[in-house]
Structure 1
């Protein structure tokens, strides 16, 4: 038996390097069938984060559909999604650099359908009877005013754009009935976001393409509607959280709302982006769906006539982007110890085929940490949840009596959900000797509307409490070193990180990725989609300006007594770089160890391989200096001001 090397936690040598992660990494998304062909998007860090549309034919041949320099990505709502459509081999897509809509006929180069300008498009569908596209439009021609969101049609012969629906602040999910006579869509208005409250509409489509008999059929200010879809026989389905959980419903011909299978589980999730798919029809009366229960995803078959749900056994714990073609289904599946992959399942034969992996690495399981779901007590007698990944490296053991440092992850959103799927960046930490706690604090998705609403009016309080109580839970159970606790997060998770470091003294270091330090600045200077988000999370502005100030770390830096490293994209329109710069300057003057790592060309969320590598290694190097261990790798140092 091989003897293990004895080395302090954090100093273990790991084959999971930053170079390996970015060299072999792909983002996978938006997988769909078009006939027997399968399409998906690949986000390639090695190409500056370019989104490339891929096609796989029945014989297994894979083709790149969008050549350089095209980048399939829309900026509607800034977060995008729903950026392409395939119909009988013809591709329609939005190109990121100019936001124009392009058409690509088979074996031809892409040509623009829309003119240059300030218009953006997303969530495309085809109206074949009228030879037009229908989609969400976002008009930025009004300068400093909010952009106008509408539903528009685009004539495929002339390129003429007509407004079909307007008047609400936001629109999504236009879906045309199989016979082309009915159009459904979702809308919502400030201050709601779509997971707070949205409305489902239905209209008759006239012969000339105009809409008539527009009526509201579901939703409201306190009910969230997601994913309207038409069954092959022309019935309208959708997801609603009207009973506290996103469940599936059917709109009957008599105008009733028919629940298909009430369950305390989430059959959808917050629609930050367009084009998400959690269910698909394999016949008129059978749906393949996925649902989240206690933070883990499951695949299931739903008989919509008998109203029976049957779980389909897979080893995937995170399931998204689900589509069906008869007895075949395709999805993006993740689990803790295998790379996330595009997977095809044959429901007749039971055969599972991996079509594409996000990584092509073959990593020994001896370096991979598997998570444990932990539930722990938090404030007000409530319970919160997290996934804990212990340190794991088959070559090392720690000196006797030493406990590992802990990195607490506060996810973004803040409505996101920490799911137990393969994450090489996470394993980078655990294979070097860190414990890693991925927290589903109050406000997270996957635990029902009531859990999600714990954060209403309490952002910066509930999330911070839960991250701290999760760390304390591990310390009390003797699993991690209470003197070496760090917290890290991006965007909203960056705010939670900064609030925890400023207003509490549990953590000894932290990392903010494009995090929010000044809530007032965010309320005044962010894009339309989130411009009123803080009204629900904190309160109305400026009426409740005092609360904004009280919860903004930038105003209480005298309470901050531990080192922090900041990472920031210089083209970030969601959280402007000025927030990080102000925080850094204050900490410099205060004499605290602080580091600032800006990235030119990056926006909100890092996409370039060199950025991802630098940020990961810089954060690890920063903690090595603060917690006093020697990294096994030769990492480029980061300048730590006041680092001694």
Structure 2
């Protein structure tokens, strides 16, 4: 029997614990030797990253297949065919950041092939690929040179599997990624960029003879190459955007280029983690598996077409590979949990290699993609999740509270894959809308660059416009709007709460709050993003006033309502100092607030207990501020 109860009070079987356990998941898929390999994050083991082959764990605790390349981490393992037969797996380990070698069939344990640095995490490796000789792994090496977060140098190196001294292959830019040896082993291709650019602003495609100087054959100012692969040994295939969209091009050593299927669609994405891939050759010389704005498609260069693959898995993570006409990756959808899948392009047969079941399917919301218009006519896409629970309805005439969900980045996008964090809210009667505000990827360079110089303005205005539109049409209760986000989404949430009066409250997780501190000079972030703000807001000292005016840290007295702050105490990207200063400023202010800091957590929460505590605190927080009593969660203590 369906029960009548106010929004926010509905009872739901979607628990915070289930959401936490689904919060890890597979990543870094590879095909080799007829097997499917991947890494998987395990929240129940503190977020440890395990390495698996055909679903069987290869390492076990305490091994943790992560690295700190560019702080977010790059591809952490490579499978190598060794001379004489057999395979070895080279992988990075979080605790010491060294590369280890494993014989997956030999029964012995991993052995280190790089030396232990004199300073913990003083040398890091990532973006691993098999060397062409079967006796090495090629990767990016990151070496700490001083005490500041920006005291780092990077090189592309060949690491011998026998533990010999690594050989430097290239050192072209401050940042490098996408290491690719040619099939004949004579050349090396890679991507490089320098401060103040981020890779989605400008990135160059470099090629060099092994041991020789490099030349740039694509990319540069205003053009971003996000992936490169070899087309034989004398040409390259690259995702790049000279015309404003990441399309697939064939690039010659002389810089000549051919767009294989020109289209106003994004076939690439923001290179946050070195080693991410959005396309792979099928193997017949003219077709390529591509991710078109996150969905699987096939590009046919003969017909210059990009055709969606008809499969009930609409959301694919960056990281696809192809072997023998079979595509492998991590895929899912709004009602299907993301899992490792293979898809035979000739038959259409899909095989799930990891757990794909969605708990409590009857309680999962199905989002609707809508496009909202701002007063100036600018269109803003957003995914709307209405409150949904088959066991409850709200009293007639009552409108639901709604939470604006802000994705991170900010150069990122919202992927409408199953997210039990959101179902935890919607199944209790709280609506959610996820906004792809100006600056989001997937809509071309022009939309991405709407945020250039306007961070803290365009993102705030876009989110507010969507929230106000939902209230105006009667979908949401305009008096019970909230905002939530982490990292750059935490910035937008905090900036919104301190600059507009749309929201009653907000949840802010591991955020940027002080622009001046979140720079190379301020010393409160890592090297990769230490000059990101220059493109998002402006350069110092010219933009000093904008830094001060837009930073939530200087506007705590203008908070529109209560705030819940969540922070990991080992966060190197958005360190706790900023959150602690902000919350200290609220003491005695009369504004209800809470600050939860978690030992052992870095940027983004990985531990099961942390995720449970954060979700239950957030629900209790909304209930206290928005006027309902949620079921089954502890009451969060608020200070004022």
Give the TM-score normalised by structure 1: 0.94
1:318 pairs with 2:303 = no
Q: Is the 8 A contact 2:335 2:358 kept in 1?
A: no
The aligned residue for residue 220 of structure 1 is: 220
Deviation at 1:512, TM superposition (A): 0.4
User: SS in structure 1 opposite 2:299?
Assistant: strand
1:174 matched to 2:179? The reply is yes
Aligned 8 A contact 2:24 2:47 in 1: no
Q: What is the match of residue 66 of structure 1?
A: 59
Please say if residues 72 and 96 of structure 1, whose CA atoms lie closer than 8 Å, have aligned partners that are also in contact: yes
Q: 2:493 aligns with which of 485, 490, 497?
A: 497
Aligned length: 624
Q: Is the 8 A contact 2:332 2:417 kept in 1?
A: yes
SS at match of 1:416: coil
Is residue 196 from structure 1 mapped to residue 201 from structure 2 by the alignment? yes
Aligned to 1:545: 544
Q: Deviations over 1:284-329 (max 9, x none)?
A: 4143323345xxx332222234433332111222112211111211
The offset of 1:435, in angstroms, is 0.8
Task: Provide the rounded CA distance (Å) in 1 between the counterparts of 2:456 and 2:22.
Answer: 36
Cross-structure match for 2:591: 592
Partner Cα separation in structure 1 for residue 255 and residue 503 of structure 2: 54
1:187 paired residue number: 192
Measure the CA separation in 2 of the matches of 1:149 and 1:251.
26
Q: Secondary structure at the match of 1:43?
A: strand
Selected match of 1:302 from 283, 299, 314? 299
Q: Give the structure 2 partner of residue 446 of structure 1.
A: 442
1:86-140 deviations in Å (ceiling 9; x for gaps): 1233100000010001111232210000111121111112223383322111111
SS in structure 2 opposite 1:301?
A: strand
For residues 195-228 of structure 1, what are the alpha-carbon distances to aligned partners after superposition, in whole Å with 9 as ceiling and x for unaligned? 00010011122xxxx124x211000021000110
* CA RMSD across the alignment: 1.6
* Change in 2 beyond 3 A, CA 1:330/1:234: farther
Q: 2:130 aligns with which of 126, 146, 156?
A: 126
CA contact (8 A) 1:178 1:234 kept: no
Gaps of 5+ in 2: 82-86
How far did residue 544 of structure 1 move?
1.7
Residues 325 and 247 (structure 1), Cα distance of their counterparts in 2 relative to 1, 3 Å cut: same
CA distance, structure 1, for counterparts of residue 292 and residue 637 of structure 2? 42
CA contact (8 A) 1:187 1:200 kept: yes
* Compared CA separation, residues 379 and 183, structure 1 to 2 (3 A): farther
Q: What secondary structure, in the 3-state scheme, does the structure 2 residue paired with 1:46 have?
A: helix
Maintained 8 Å contact 2:20/2:611: yes
2:74: which partner in 1? 81
Q: Is the 8 A contact 1:174 1:185 kept in 2?
A: yes
3-state DSSP of counterpart to 1:590: coil
Structure 1 residue 583, shift from structure 2 partner: 1.3
- Measure how far apart 1:632 and its partner are: 1.7
| Alignment partner of 2:37 out of 26, 36, 39 | 39
The structure 2 residue matched to 1:329, chosen from 322, 327, 336, is 327
**Secondary structure of residue in 1 paired with 2:94:** coil
8 Å CA contact 1:404–1:434 kept in 2: the answer is yes
Matches within 5 A, 1:603-622: 603-622=602-621
Q: Is the contact made by 1:192 and 1:221 (CA closer than 8 Å) also made in structure 2? A: no
Separation (CA, whole Å) in 2 of partners of 1:233 and 1:223 = 24
Quote the offset at 1:539 in angstroms.
0.6
CA–CA distance in 2 between the matches of 1:241 and 1:370?
Answer: 33
Shift of 1:584: 1.2
8 Å CA contact 1:318, 1:419 repeated in 2: yes
1:257 pairs with 2:257:
yes
- Residue number in structure 2 paired with 1:508: 504
The correspondence of residues 97-496 of structure 1 with structure 2, limited to 5 A, is 97-106=95-104, 107=106, 108-117=108-117, 118-129=122-133, 131-144=135-148, 146-205=151-210, 210-212=211-213, 214-231=214-231, 235-252=235-252, 255-293=255-293, 297-320=294-317, 321-357=319-355, 360-365=357-362, 367-378=363-374, 380-496=376-492
Give SS of 2:516's match. Answer: helix
Question: CA contact under 8 A between 1:328 and 1:347: conserved in structure 2?
Answer: yes
Question: Which sits farther off after the overlay, 139-148 or 518-527?
Answer: 139-148
Deviation at 1:142, TM superposition (A): 2.9
The structure-2 alpha-carbon separation of the partners of 1:158 and 1:499, relative to structure 1 and needing over 3 Å to count, comes to: closer
Aligned residue in 1 for 2:84? none
Q: Deviations over 1:398-418 (max 9, x none)?
A: 011100000100111001111
Q: Following the alignment from structure 1 to structure 2, what is the Cα–Cα distance between the partners of residues 381 and 301?
A: 34
Task: Report the secondary structure of 1:529's partner residue.
Answer: coil
Determine the structure 2 residue equivalent to 1:59.
none
Structure 1 residue 343: Cα displacement: 1.3
Q: Distance in 2 between matches of 1:291 and 1:132?
A: 30
TM-fit CA distance, 1:23: 3.8
Measure, in 1, the Cα distance between the counterparts of 2:627 and 2:162: 66
> Which residue of 637, 640, 643 maps to 2:635?
637
1-structure distance, mates of 2:492, 2:111: 45
Moved more, 313-322 or 242-251: 313-322
Choose the corresponding residue for 2:516, options 517, 520, 528: 520
Q: Structure 2 vs 1, CA of residues 246 and 24 (structure 1 numbering), >3 Å: closer, same or farther?
A: closer
> Given the superposition, is the C-alpha separation of residues 535 and 400 from structure 1 closer, same or farther in structure 2, using an over 3 Å criterion?
same
With structure 2 as the length reference, what TM-score do the two structures score?
0.95
Contact 1:131/1:156, CA 8 A, preserved across alignment? yes
8 Å contact kept, 1:267–1:291: yes
Distance change (3 Å), C-alpha of 1:195 and 1:114: same
Aligned counterparts of 1:622 and 1:607: Cα–Cα separation in 2? 22
Question: What 5-or-longer segments of structure 1 have no aligned partner?
Answer: 57-61
Tell me the SS of whatever aligns to 2:405: strand
